[in-house]
Amino acid sequence: MSTMAEALARLLDPAAKVSAHYLIDEDGTVYRLVDEARRAWHAGVSEWAGERDINGISIGIELVNPGHAYPGYAGGYRPFPEPQMAALVKLARDILARHAIPPQRVLGHSDVAPARKTDPGELFDWERLAAAGIGLMPRRRVTRHKTLAPGDSGRLARGFQIRLRRFGYGIAVSGIYDLATESVVKAFQRHYRRSQVDGIADAETRAALDDLLDQTGL
């Protein structure tokens, strides 16, 4: 949603069947739209760690940003302004102080619905949140993993899918690096390896996943 007015109108429109607990404007203004004790309809068809009722177990925060282009929409995706990010950090800290949310469960919509959603996207500063004690990011380390790409199949592809699913992503373990796997890898990269989002599980991407699993003990 490209403007605050458009975002607020859509989130408050019953016919739209979409809502969020909070909306943060680019100037840092925070709007509380739904009480945290109530369900907000922000995730849609989604999955994380085997749970498919994400709307029922999450607190949804929307950020005003034109977002990525898609058929019929020109987009205008851009970096998130400092006032907006500062407000998000303050709000997220407040939420975490009141709810026992593990770091690995601070997620983007693209994490829980990789085939449908791309937000908040590769320009969102997840590292800043992690530095503020919000969420989790991989540590850098040297790796010699073999690159996996669309079309690959067999033991390595299956093992990689198992590890993605163990971390939480809703991915079928087929042993085939198919379109669904590519979508999940892109979602993973938008969050945990933002420098290159191409859906290819290169050594850096695979090492990031390994490190996240090590940090969480999953």
Residue 204 appears among annotated catalytic residues: no
Q: What pLDDT sits at residue 65?
A: 96
Residue 106 backbone class (left: φ over 0; alpha: ψ -120 to 50; beta: rest): beta
Quick one: average pLDDT of 61-82?
93
CATH 3.40.80.10 fits 4-103, yes or no: yes
CA-to-CA dists, residue 39 to 11, 80, 86, 152, 155, angstroms: 13, 26, 25, 40, 40
User: Quick check: helix, strand or coil at residue 129?
Assistant: helix
Residue 204 has pLDDT above 90, yes or no: yes
Q: What pLDDT sits at residue 93?
A: 99
Quick one: average pLDDT of 5-31?
93
Q: What pLDDT sits at residue 70?
A: 86
Q: What pLDDT sits at residue 15?
A: 86
Q: What is the pTM of this model?
A: 0.94
Residue 142 has pLDDT above 90, yes or no: no
The mean of the pLDDT values for the chain is: 96
What residue segments make up the domains of the chain, in order of their start? 4-103, 155-216
Considering 26, 47, 62, 182, which one is annotated as catalytic? Answer: 62
Residue 5 has pLDDT above 80, yes or no: yes
Residue 141 has pLDDT above 90, yes or no: no
pLDDT per position as a tens digit, 170-203 = 999 999 999 999 999 999 999 999 999 999 999 9
Residue 75: band (very low, low, confident or very high) from pLDDT cuts 50, 70, 90: confident
Quick one: average pLDDT of 5-12?
90
Fold (topology level) of 155-216: Muramoyl-pentapeptide Carboxypeptidase; domain 1 (1.10.101)
Q: What does the alpha-carbon distance between residue 17 and residue 34 come to, in Å, rounded to a whole number?
A: 13
Q: What pLDDT sits at residue 144?
A: 81
Q: Are 189 and 198 in contact (CB under 8 A)?
A: yes
Q: Are 33 and 107 in contact (CB under 8 A)?
A: no
pLDDT per position as a tens digit, 19-67 = 999 999 999 999 999 999 999 999 999 999 999 999 999 999 999 999 9
Q: What pLDDT sits at residue 1?
A: 63
- Could you tell me where the beta strands, DSSP code E, fall in 59-205? 61-63
